[in-house]
Structure 1
């Protein structure tokens, strides 16, 4: 009789941004149709952003293998493509995850505002094509309200900063008119995506490169930038004014010789931001005239100071979520019993109307005002008799009392469709 709510997701936490492209659904309508037909889900909501692909579903009995198989089919993947990428949450854990999403606690940049609008858009789309139902509509409505409350009460969206945005801020402080400069971003991982997001937000154009051109193109499609072949980018720094390096390469990508050669043929300076761990910019590069290098340690220290100032804000947000989560859980459990309550009231009302008609025929009553009064009287009697046991049934459902639910189901001969 219960409905399981499940969340299956592939996000930036376990997959670099260029990998996420593989798990997206190119045709949402087709994806919804496939999940509802083949995965065992009777409700679903799909959330896709540049940092995550998530499926929220509801089923009488969750079959994870069917969900993975359907996902792989729609996205054009092998079933084993998920491996360590896929994260699963069920029941209360899925509710908590959605609350963290709408509150901005599960984003690359804590408190970022865009995700709340994306969640709203995802449930609106699902509603529009009738892919979501009472369970997910209720869950998402409550999560959106709670996320909005968290943001208003804590101000978590104000002053949020990341390594990527701090690097861009520092670039703006050190370079006049950043928009007019030639900017290159090397890397397609988490840190690179934060830099790209910050540049894109400021409407600043930039080049993007990675060790494979396909990664660069996939990154550019989701995060912005103009893709550039790796060798072309790393062997010619002559025209680059600002260089962001954010990779996990185990060697120096930006060498002393390459930068020195570039600087010998130009008069203006170069700013290099090394966000890599380990560092991928040769330490000797900083010795070159008119070249300024800032590394991850320096940038991270500034971000850390900002985060320390925001620890109280994050803690306050988590406190609100912990307060609201039991209420969401109770509301979801209550949904289990609503079909029974509706069915009982429907059957009793049908019996009431049937007996009322008999009584009115026996009385020969034709006066419309009197008929209306008698009708209202019988309705009131039914509601008075049934309201207490039905409300107790709702409370039992909220408290997870499955035995009472089973008893009432047998008592009223309720058969779930």
Structure 2
């Protein structure tokens, strides 16, 4: 008995073979898409802090990764909750990305490996859609991540690191995020770490007009915090920042006061609530500074909320009597507990994203036929040039123009129809004529009437 693997494979007709080729090409394009990264789901604040990048360093890190062998396109998303590389790889091997990232931060691959995840192909598309829609965030449904993603892509595109595959992928992701917010209840009560922090203030403090709040930093998170505080009329707000002008700009929008970091010791002593949001590589508020402020505050309690990664406030500050400290991870856990009611919306959102993945795959299939379209045009143009040269020689010999035009049209028609006619005759020999006829009718837009079918079958 012949071995099962030795059985002859079924002969595919031209239509089936073409479909298999397109599907294979589409899968090859999909498999070049990779995501490599870590997030709040896999790494602690301390680990994420080791991979934190200052805004000035992100471009150089991006260019470093893009220069690695086999990396055709690249984008880096770096936030307090995640560091992710989105890439199009030529050889389908993501190892160089991880080693390149480890090299950039001066870390070993073995030190990063336990915290990293990777996705390829369809899984990488779905992951980006989930990130853009806020489904993978510490606070499900938050919208801040979409702006961060758009800025990451803009930097990659402007630096020449993002090409057609990542460009279209990001456009799809933005569309999916918008649809999820519009069609589900996931964004009806927008929540972020900043919003969770302010909710903690109202729960843990006796808030009134005399409460003093110090916001350290003047970036995006600081703006969200100050906005939430202003909307809830939570006492008096002071914004402290290294760049005083930036602090003044933010404070002026919400009726707050602005100071420089040099005035921090006095501000800390006078603040009932401190919310720190900087992107500094080391703590800006030491336990010693908080301890020193306690002597001046007496028995008045103090709430410290640290939204930063790496941490802005030394952990030891939470051990000081009268001081309550919440870290970014603490706030994230609280936010997730408050989001359990959104499960039905999440299920609906996942279904929307599945359709979005299929939409992106359809776009990839259209890219799969581009080489064939290009070859078809080149082939037709070659026939045109041959026919034109032949007609020009006939005119040069004095043959009447009317004769030359008739000959030109007949010659060009015969040349262009030669290959499809051969395909039809070959299909007849393989008993796949009906499939070939249908395919060619669709390709050339021929009328689908019974008389034409019968006449062609009789030719």
Q: CA deviation at 1:97?
A: 0.5
Within a 5 Å distance, the mapping from 1:8-407 to structure 2 comes to 8-25=36-53, 26-161=56-191, 165-172=195-202, 174-177=206-209, 180-181=212-213, 199=225, 201-202=227-228, 204-205=237-238, 221-222=278-279, 227-234=284-291, 236-237=293-294, 238-239=296-297, 242-244=302-304, 253-254=318-319, 258-259=321-322, 300=334, 304=337, 306-335=338-367, 337-364=368-395
Preserved CA contact (<8 Å) 2:290 2:317: no
Structure 1, gaps ≥5 residues long: 185-193, 210-218, 260-271, 280-295, 393-417
Task: Give 3-state SS (helix, strand or coil) of 1:98's partner.
Answer: helix
- Greater alpha carbon shift after TM alignment, 69-78 vs 314-323: 69-78
Q: CA deviation at 1:111?
A: 1.5
Query: In structure 1, how many angstroms separate the alpha carbons of the residues matched to 2:38 and 2:401?
Result: 67
Following TM superposition, the consecutive aligned residue runs of length 4 or more in structure 1 with deviations greater than 6 angstroms are: 194-197, 206-209, 223-226, 249-252
Q: 1:254 to 1:310 in 2, by over 3 A?
A: same
Q: 1:183 to 1:321 in 2, by over 3 A?
A: closer
Task: Give 3-state SS (helix, strand or coil) of 2:189's partner.
Answer: coil
Q: CA deviation at 1:18?
A: 4.7
Preserved CA contact (<8 Å) 2:304 2:325: yes
Query: In structure 2, how many angstroms separate the alpha carbons of the residues matched to 1:38 and 1:19?
Result: 24
Preserved CA contact (<8 Å) 1:7 1:57: yes
Structure 2, gaps ≥5 residues long: 1-24, 230-236, 241-260, 265-275, 422-434, 440-459
Q: CA deviation at 1:166?
A: 3.9
Q: CA deviation at 1:61?
A: 1.6
Preserved CA contact (<8 Å) 1:139 1:332: no
Query: In structure 1, how many angstroms separate the alpha carbons of the residues matched to 2:101 and 2:193?
Result: 33
Q: 1:159 to 1:374 in 2, by over 3 A?
A: farther
Query: In structure 2, how many angstroms separate the alpha carbons of the residues matched to 1:178 and 1:84?
Result: 48
**Deviation digits for residues 7-54 of structure 1, max 9, x if unmatched?**
011222223345434324553443333223224211111222232221
Using structure 2 for the length normalisation, give the TM-score: 0.58
Query: In structure 1, how many angstroms separate the alpha carbons of the residues matched to 2:111 and 2:58?
Result: 20
Partner of 1:397: none
Task: Give 3-state SS (helix, strand or coil) of 1:227's partner.
Answer: coil
Preserved CA contact (<8 Å) 2:35 2:84: yes
Using structure 1 for the length normalisation, give the TM-score: 0.63
**Deviation digits for residues 320-358 of structure 1, max 9, x if unmatched?**
1123222323433553x2453244224313313322322
RMSD (Å) for aligned C-alpha atoms: 4.7
Q: CA deviation at 1:143?
A: 1.5
Preserved CA contact (<8 Å) 2:287 2:317: no
Query: In structure 2, how many angstroms separate the alpha carbons of the residues matched to 1:170 and 1:353?
Result: 75
Larger radius of gyration: 2
Paired residues, number: 332
Query: In structure 1, how many angstroms separate the alpha carbons of the residues matched to 2:292 and 2:173?
Result: 49
